[in-house]
Amino acid sequence: MSSFSARVLDAARSLGDAGASIARGGWLTARRGVVGAALGTRGLVARRRGAGAMLGVGVARLLLQLPADALVLFVARLLSALQTVLGLEPPARPLDDDERALMTRVFGDGIDARRARLKPGRHLIHLPRLAFVIGNTVHLPAPVARRSR
């Protein structure tokens, strides 16, 4: 597979993962917002202390957090995909066996290590010499990266 084809495939995978992450995160946030709003409303009717705050948090999750989370994730993934296609950012790679074993030891079943990917090297969106995560992809600065496949 050519380098350009690998970059396009990685960009498409990244955008597909973004769609799935937005849908899953949106569902979880919406569910928490609806439950919080319902409990807050019920508490207001029963004149329970703190019910107004609970209602406010539930509504804020629905009206503020839900669209903000989706927008931030989509824009970050879209920018990363464009940088990858243009060759400004390396394609992601799956974790090797040692990395998967370490992740499983650290996080247990809390993270599906098979879905995690690494992007070692230089990135336009980055914190100087710090790793950061977008979705299921860990972006590593060049000095931290062990190798690239």
Q: What are the residue ranges spanned by the domains of the chain? A: 3-140
This prediction's pTM:
0.77
Give which of 146, 86, 100 is closest to 119, Cα–Cα: 146
Strand partners, 130: 127
> What tens digit of pLDDT does each residue of 10-37 get?
999 989 988 998 999 999 999 999 999 9
Cβ distance 134 to 73 under 8 Å? yes
> What tens digit of pLDDT does each residue of 122-148 get?
766 656 678 888 888 888 887 655 555
